[in-house]
Chain A
Amino acid sequence: MRPILSVSGLSKSFGATAAVTDVGFTLGAGERLAVLGENGAGKSTLIKIVAGVYPPDGGEMVLDGAPHRPASPGTALAGGVSVVYQEPSFFPRLSVLENLYVGREPRDRAGQVDWRRMRGRGEELFRRLDVPVELLTRRMDALSLAEQQLALIARAVDVEAKVLILDEPTSILTDAEVRRLFLIVQRLSEAGVGVLYITHRFEELEHVADRFIVLKDGRLAGDLPASEADHDRILEMMSGRPVNAAISRSPARPGRVMLETSGLTVPGAVSDVDLTVRGGEVVGLYGLVGAGRTELALTVFGVLRPSAGTMRVDGEPHTPRGPRDAMARGIAYLPEDRKTLGIFPGMDTLSNITAVKLPELLGRLGVIRRAEERELATSWIDRLRIKAPSPAFPVTGLSGGHQQKTLFARQLATEPKILILDEPTRGIDVATKTDIQQRLVEVARDGTAVLVVSSDLPELLAVSDRVYVMREGRMAAELSGDDLTEDAVLRATMGVHR
């Protein structure tokens, strides 16, 4: 295979921290190469060097036979390196069509932006990728998360790319869209494009990779063909020690019904949903993005108002006027988007942990009892093994996984009766993920009613005693015991009946 991108001796440090050290690999034309590694292993830095965001401190890159030393993302893009970043980056107040062609608008001979040609190319592209053409005229911020991600992938694909880099593109896509994406990757690879694919999902490997490399602490820890992609072995390379990925789950002894909804309806999102969660059990809530899962959770938490139906908490009617009412009833909610809904970025780890618990730590005049607060934060840092040098360490200095643990600690510190977790492990590394999954099962076994919203099916199957499946705002299935299988969940999700 002709090499399209080869990299050798690549290094990059930020201050005293080495993010990438002496990394080398070769990507062939038409090859699909998966890049694996925990958060902080240097994957994103590696990509950003190739994409021209960071200049490397040392090392060589050769793109299609010529030295590749991009001075900016723009020159890298012009050279044929196209990237879909993990954080969707788009232009919310522009139309989808304009989003597609930012920075490379088709121009006529007079140098004017050629709107007709742009429109034509956009339509052709969307047809080719099987994306609804009418999306083109919509404003980007009027699209769902998954539609936005599809548009971004379309944008990256439309570039005459030699190398396409996808940084965890599937984390917000639904299964159908993921399959569409795999097909796109397949076609590009057949056309000779080299694909670098970053993922945390092992089950995707066989679909998207011919070969994979593993990064650990910024160094190359492995480079193997996909045929040798054995999950245990990859995990071992990523963490440097054998990991038992399976979590231990003792049988549930469900107690009283803690949360119950009946006929719950939220306009445009949730229709006529019945759901119960008992103390001591973990209940999973699965469905496609946009199926109404998050809206259901937000309704229970008092953020959204139902238009019909009832909710009961611990047997009592529950009609929250806001999150505070829900909290007063012992409900805790871990939101899906850590960055915008979770952490307080300017603040230290301590006050991030105690944010919700704070009212109980106050003396007269609203003065914070500081010793007590510090003790509480320290105990949670220890219990969840949050890697923070001190409670006063800025939360944004923690890795993504440990930020998530901090938020988990914030909710657990309130000793909730009902704990709702929305995508608790999205985009975090495997070790931390397993850790959080294990904890949430333990919390349930201590008597808390736990409701987990997740798009990660293996995760739900691993932690849940029962699983609800939502589809287009309605409850499509409730599965437990022997009925709770991957196949059954997927069938319910797709609306396929036996």
Chain B
Amino acid sequence: MTTTTVPSAFAPSARMLVLLRNALLPILLVAEVIFFTVAAPGFLSAANLANVVINSADLALLAAGVTLVVLLAGIDVSVGPMLGVVAWVGATLFVAGMPPPLVVVISVLLGGALGAINGGLVVGGRISPIITTLGTAAIFKTVLFILWDSTDVFAGPVVPALGPARAGGVPLVGLVVLAVFGVLAYVLRHRVFGRRLFAIGNDAEGARLLGVPVGRTSFAAYVLVGALVGVAALIYVGRVGVVQATAGNELTLPAIAAVVVGGTSILGGEGGVLRTLGGLAFIALLQNGVVLMGVPPLWNGVLVGAAVALAVAFDVLTRRTLDKRIGAKK
């Protein structure tokens, strides 16, 4: 429908509204921290926060990967089961005595290869991402089940940086996560590959007409998701210490939730990894705070599910209202 043109005399005020819109998530985060600091003793201690970081580092990398494909207007619901497969292979190789650096390399390559399956089906097979990754999620689950073969694999951290080790109270894996997010944020803003993701997520056909290699870029994004899952899988092994038949399955939803709560548009082409980091912090702190408040663990799923739904509803609705105001003032 036609948008109306009105002279842009109110531009500064519109800019204020845009600022407000972008500040929503930080405001929510601060409110959350204040709430739990009051309600849950011990929440705001260095030890607890370090725990939160260690416990959500693998999830953070999955969420970073999912962000990339959501920016493309895609989705990947196979990251959890994919992590399970890579975790099993990594842990098994490590236990068999393979040198740790080699285990890391193989895990990343394997993750990339599994991501390439998704990318190949989405790009080459032109199957919608949700269908593709629902299908491969099921396949990965079965692959893990067959590999597992009724035997749990017990393993410690492959390298110290991918385990619960701390240096001066700072968890090393937190530094790994920060480094990954920093690099991805740089790539999305300052590298051509990143700009292409945004363009494709907005209008793939239009991007193609302007010479953007849509297929190649999308494929690369899915492979990159896989590689991130590869690293996350080893962090998972370091954190949990054992790979079971359904390893990783529970991580898919929180990873997507972090992306969406962070405010990356599910329509594609808008958002970024730093927003995802914010969304992840929101969810991780919520889970942690709730446990500290003494709520039984069974309720965890209920609260997180509800929190995600509410956060998304709140975010979308507030932004829509603000957008309308911005539109009217334009």
User: Interface of A with B (CB < 8 Å)?
Assistant: 51, 53, 72-75, 77-78, 83, 85, 89-94, 98, 102-105, 107, 111-113, 115, 132, 134, 138, 142-147, 267-269, 289-290, 292, 294-295, 298, 336-337, 341, 473
Contact = CB atoms under 8 A, between A and B. Distances in A.
21 contacts: A74-B212, A83-B209, A91-B199, A91-B202, A92-B203, A94-B202, A94-B270, A102-B199, A103-B212, A104-B211, A111-B192, A112-B191, A113-B194, A115-B190, A132-B8, A134-B8, A289-B5, A290-B4, A290-B5, A292-B4, A341-B1
A115 B195 CA distance: 11
B87 to A, nearest CB: 35
B269 interface: yes
A75 B2 contact: no
A203 to B, nearest CB: 23
B265 interface: yes
Contacts of A74: 208, 210-213
B246 to A, nearest CB: 37
Contacts of A473: 4
A113 B190 contact: yes
Contacts of B190: 112-113, 115
Interface in B51-96: none
A298 B8 CA distance: 24
B270 A93 contact: yes
Contact of B211 (A75, A267, A292): A75
Contact of A102 (B5, B8, B212): B212
B11 A89 contact: no
Nearest to A114: B190
B317 interface: no
B208 A73 contact: yes
A103 to B, nearest CB: 4
Interface string B182-207: 00000001111011101101110111
In the complex, the 4 A-B pairs of residues with the closest C-beta atoms, listed nearest first: A74-B211, A91-B202, A103-B210, A89-B206
A142 B330 contact: yes
Interface in B1-54: 1-6, 8, 11
B327 interface: yes
B309 interface: no
Nearest to A108: B190
Given A91-B199, A142-B3, 16 more contacts: A73-B208, A74-B212, A74-B213, A83-B209, A91-B202, A92-B203, A94-B198, A98-B198, A98-B199, A104-B211, A105-B195, A113-B191, A142-B330, A143-B3, A147-B5, A268-B6
A219 B2 CA distance: 37
Nearest to A83: B209
A102 B196 CA distance: 7
Nearest to B330: A142
A268 B270 contact: no
Given A78-B211, A103-B212, A105-B195, A290 B2 contact: yes
B240 interface: no
Most buried by A among B4, B190, B192, B213: B4
A306 to B, nearest CB: 15
A275 B64 CA distance: 56
B42 to A, nearest CB: 42
B179 interface: no
B328 interface: yes
A77 B192 contact: no
B202 A294 contact: no
A493 to B, nearest CB: 15
Contacts of A337: 1
Contact of B199 (A78, A94, A341): A94
Contact of A113 (B8, B11, B195, B327): B195
B161 interface: no
B326 interface: yes
